C-alpha cells in the first residue's frame, strides 16, 4: 500500500466502536441470562474472534447489520466446544476468556495466530492457578496454545506486577465463579471497562484506589449496550489533524473514559489544539465529539501513571513526537514490547527509515523531533497500530511511503484507509 504527502485534512469522521468494550459486551452478554443487544459493535477481526469463540461455547449470537443479539445462557450456561477455540490475533479474547473457561466443568484448548502464540500468558496463568485453575501451556513456553481444564476456584487477593486490564479482567471474571471474594490490585489503574460493564450487568464490583473486588455468583441479566467510538482509533485522526497544516477534523462520538484519555492530555501538553464538544454518557461510559485543529507541537515527557491510559496510542504519539520541535521522552512503557509486535523496536526501525532521530530504551523511546521525514518502506509486522501510525506519518513525509502488510488494519479498523482518504482536500 502506497501513501503520499497531503496538503490538508478537513471534514468529519465517525470512528468504529471501541474494541475493548465490544469484546466485553459479547463476553458478558454470553454469561448473562437473556438477551443482550449491542449497537455500534466493532466489526473488526479481533471482536469477530470473540463472537466465534462464544458461538463454539454454545451461545447463539446474531450478527446483524445494525446490532448484535447475544442470547445469553447465564453464568453456568456455556457448553464444551467440539474444537479448538481460535482467538486469532486477539490478546483480549485470549486472556479474558481464560478467566471464564478456568471454572467451567469441561476442558478447552485455546490458541491463536503466530503473534498470539508468542505473547506472554504467564501473567494470567499465575493468578488463575493461585485460584485453583488448571491451565497448561501446551508448548511449555507460557504462551498459547493453552489447555484449560475446568476446576472449582477459590477467591484470592492478587497483587499484579503489571498494570493490565486483561490480567485484571481475567481474574475478576474467574472471581464470578469462585468461592468467596476476589480482588486485584494493580500498580497503576488500567482501563476499567470490565468494572463498569459487569456492574451494569448486575455483578457486585467495588473499586478503591487501584483495587477492584468482585463477589461470586451474581445473577447477570442481559442488557442493551451502546458501544462508544474507539479513542484508540480516533487517535490516528487526532495526530493527523495536529500534524498536517491547515487541518480541522471533527471526530464524532468518541469514548473519553479517564482510564483511556491519555492521548488527549498528551496532545494538549504538546501544544495541540483539541476541543471536546457534546459531552454525554452511554452505557455508563463518557462520550464526546473531538475537534482537532493543526497546531505547532513541541516535545514532552510521557511516563508514570499516564502510561496505561495511552498504551495503545504510543506508536502514533511517537509519530507526533517526530513532527514536534524538541525532545519527547517515553518511559515506563516496557509493555510495548509484548503487544501485537515489539512496538519499541518496530517504531525505532520504521521511524529511523523515514529519517527521524529516535532511540529505543528498555522501557520506551527518545525522539528528537523536528527533522523532515521522507517516505520509506514500512514493515508493519502485521500490527494494526503500526500500519495506521505510519499511514499518519506518511501525510507529511516527502515522497512515497509503502506500508507492507497494511491490510492488518482489519483487526481494529477495517475502513481506516477509506476514512482517512475522505479527509484529503484537493
| Interaction residues for ligand S3P, span 171-190 (CB under 6 A) | 190
| Interaction residues for ligand S3P, span 191-210 (CB under 6 A) | 191
Listed in sequence order, the residues at least 6 apart from 35 whose beta carbon sits closer than 8 Å to its beta carbon are 69, 70, 71, 72, 222
Q: Work out how close the CB of 336 gets to ligand S3P at its nearest, in angstroms, rounded to a whole number.
A: 9
Determine contact, residues 330/324, Cβ cutoff 8 Å. no
Q: Work out how close the CB of 227 gets to ligand S3P at its nearest, in angstroms, rounded to a whole number.
A: 12
| From 3, 6, 17, 20, residue interacting with ligand S3P (rule: CB under 6 A) | 20
Only one residue has cell 485484571, namely: 168
DSSP-H helix ranges across 113-207: 122-130, 165-175, 193-201
Listed in sequence order, the residues at least 6 apart from 374 whose beta carbon sits closer than 8 Å to its beta carbon are 354, 355, 397, 398, 399
Determine contact, residues 314/333, Cβ cutoff 8 Å. yes
DSSP-H helix ranges across 257-414: 262-269, 314-323, 343-353, 384-394
Strand segments, DSSP code E, in 174-260 are 182-185, 205-208, 211-214, 224-226, 248-255
Under the criterion CB under 6 A, does residue 312 sit at the interface with ligand S3P?
Answer: yes
Q: How far apart are CA 119 and CA 345, in angstroms?
A: 16
Under the criterion CB under 6 A, does residue 101 sit at the interface with ligand S3P?
Answer: no
Under the criterion CB under 6 A, does residue 283 sit at the interface with ligand S3P?
Answer: no
Q: Work out how close the CB of 143 gets to ligand S3P at its nearest, in angstroms, rounded to a whole number.
A: 14
The three cell numbers of residue 269 are 501538553
Q: Which residue, 323 or 413, has its beta carbon nearer to ligand S3P? A: 413
Instruction: Specify whether 312 is catalytic.
Output: yes
DSSP assignment of 352-389: HHTT-EEEEETTEEEEEE-PPPB--EEE-TT-HHHHHH
| Interaction residues for ligand S3P, span 320-339 (CB under 6 A) | 335
Under the criterion CB under 6 A, does residue 93 sit at the interface with ligand S3P?
Answer: no
Candidates 28-36, 161-169, 237-245, 250-258: pick the segment binding ligand S3P (CB under 6 A).
161-169
Q: Which residue, 112 or 299, has its beta carbon nearer to ligand S3P? A: 112
According to DSSP, the residues that pair with 115 across neighbouring strands are none
Candidates 162-170, 259-267, 316-324, 368-376: pick the segment binding ligand S3P (CB under 6 A).
162-170
Catalytic annotation, pick one of 46, 86, 312, 419 = 312
Question: Minimal CA–CA distance to 163: which of 128, 191, 187?
Answer: 187
DSSP, collapsed to helix, strand or coil, labels residue 301 as strand
- Spell out, one character per residue from 363 to 402, where the chain touches ligand S3P: x when CB under 6 A holds, - when not: ----------------------------------------
Q: Work out how close the CB of 190 gets to ligand S3P at its nearest, in angstroms, rounded to a whole number.
A: 6
Under the criterion CB under 6 A, does residue 46 sit at the interface with ligand S3P?
Answer: no
The three cell numbers of residue 220 are 447477570
Under the criterion CB under 6 A, does residue 341 sit at the interface with ligand S3P?
Answer: no
| From 108, 164, 253, 410, residue interacting with ligand S3P (rule: CB under 6 A) | 164
Q: Work out how close the CB of 115 gets to ligand S3P at its nearest, in angstroms, rounded to a whole number.
A: 13
How do beta strands 2-3 and 33-39 pair?
unpaired
Determine contact, residues 312/385, Cβ cutoff 8 Å. yes
| From 22, 36, 89, 92, residue interacting with ligand S3P (rule: CB under 6 A) | 92
Under the criterion CB under 6 A, does residue 50 sit at the interface with ligand S3P?
Answer: no
| From 165, 172, 212, 392, residue interacting with ligand S3P (rule: CB under 6 A) | 165
Q: Work out how close the CB of 311 gets to ligand S3P at its nearest, in angstroms, rounded to a whole number.
A: 5
Determine contact, residues 229/287, Cβ cutoff 8 Å. yes
Q: Which residue, 92 or 182, has its beta carbon nearer to ligand S3P? A: 92
Candidates 160-168, 259-267, 285-293, 296-304: pick the segment binding ligand S3P (CB under 6 A).
160-168
Site residues, ligand S3P (CB under 6 A): 20, 92, 164-166, 169, 190-191, 311-312, 335
Catalytic residues: 312
Amino acid at each position: 500500500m502506497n501513501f503520499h504527502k497531503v496538503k490538508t485534512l478537513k471534514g468529519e469522521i465517525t470512528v468504529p466502536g471501541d474494541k475493548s468494550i465490544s469484546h466485553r459486551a459479547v463476553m458478558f452478554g454470553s454469561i448473562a441470562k437473556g438477551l443482550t443487544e449491542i449497537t455500534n459493535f466493532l466489526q473488526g477481526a479481533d471482536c469477530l474472534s470473540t463472537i466465534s469463540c462464544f458461538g463454539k461455547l454454545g451461545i447463539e449470537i446474531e450478527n446483524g447489520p445494525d446490532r448484535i443479539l447475544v442470547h445469553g445462557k447465564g453464568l453456568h450456561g456455556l457448553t464444551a466446544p467440539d474444537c479448538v477455540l481460535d482467538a486469532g490475533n486477539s490478546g483480549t479474547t485470549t486472556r479474558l476468556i481464560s478467566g471464564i473457561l478456568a471454572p467451567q466443568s469441561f476442558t478447552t484448548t485455546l490458541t491463536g495466530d503466530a503473534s498470539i502464540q508468542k505473547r506472554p500468558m504467564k501473567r494470567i496463568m499465575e493468578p488463575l492457578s493461585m485460584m485453583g485453575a488448571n491451565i497448561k501451556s501446551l508448548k511449555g513456553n507460557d504462551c498459547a496454545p493453552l489447555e484449560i481444564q475446568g476446576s472449582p476456584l477459590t477467591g484470592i487477593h492478587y497483587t499484579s506486577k503489571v498494570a493490565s486490564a486483561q490480567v485484571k479482567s481475567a481474574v475478576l471474571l474467574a472471581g464470578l465463579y469462585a468461592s468467596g471474594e476476589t480482588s486485584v490490585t494493580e500498580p497503576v489503574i488500567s482501563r476499567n471497562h470490565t468494572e463498569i460493564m459487569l456492574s451494569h450487568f448486575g455483578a457486585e464490583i467495588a473499586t478503591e484506589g487501584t483495587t477492584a473486588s468482585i463477589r461470586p455468583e451474581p445473577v447477570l441479566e442481559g442488557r442493551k449496550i451502546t458501544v462508544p467510538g474507539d479513542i484508540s482509533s480516533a487517535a490516528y485522526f487526532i495526530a493527523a489533524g495536529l500534524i498536517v497544516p491547515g487541518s480541522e477534523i471533527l471526530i464524532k462520538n468518541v469514548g473519553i473514559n479517564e482510564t483511556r484519555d491519555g492521548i488527549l492530555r498528551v496532545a494538549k501538553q504538546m501544544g495541540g489544539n483539541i476541543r471536546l464538544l457534546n459531552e454525554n454518557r452511554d452505557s455508563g461510559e463518557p462520550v464526546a465529539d473531538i475537534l482537532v485543529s493543526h497546531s505547532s507541537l513541541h516535545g514532552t515527557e510521557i511516563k508514570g501513571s499516564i502510561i496505561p491510559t495511552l498504551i495503545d496510542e504510543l506508536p502514533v504519539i511517537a509519530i507526533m513526537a517526530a513532527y514536534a520541535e524538541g525532545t519527547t521522552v517515553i518511559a515506563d512503557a516496557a509493555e510495548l514490547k509484548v503487544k501485537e509486535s515489539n512496538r519499541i523496536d518496530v517504531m525505532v526501525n520504521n521511524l529511523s527509515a523515514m529519517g527521524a532521530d529516535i532511540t529505543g530504551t528498555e522501557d520506551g523511546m527518545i525522539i528528537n523531533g523536528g527533522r523532515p521525514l521522507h517516505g520509506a518502506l514500512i514493515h508493519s509486522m502485521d500490527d494494526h497500530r503500526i500500519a495506521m501510525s505510519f499511514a499518519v506519518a506518511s501525510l507529511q513525509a516527502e515522497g512515497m511511503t509503502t506500508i507492507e502488510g497494511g491490510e492488518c488494519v482489519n483487526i481494529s479498523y477495517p475502513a481506516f484507509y477509506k476514512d482517512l482518504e475522505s479527509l484529503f482536500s484537493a
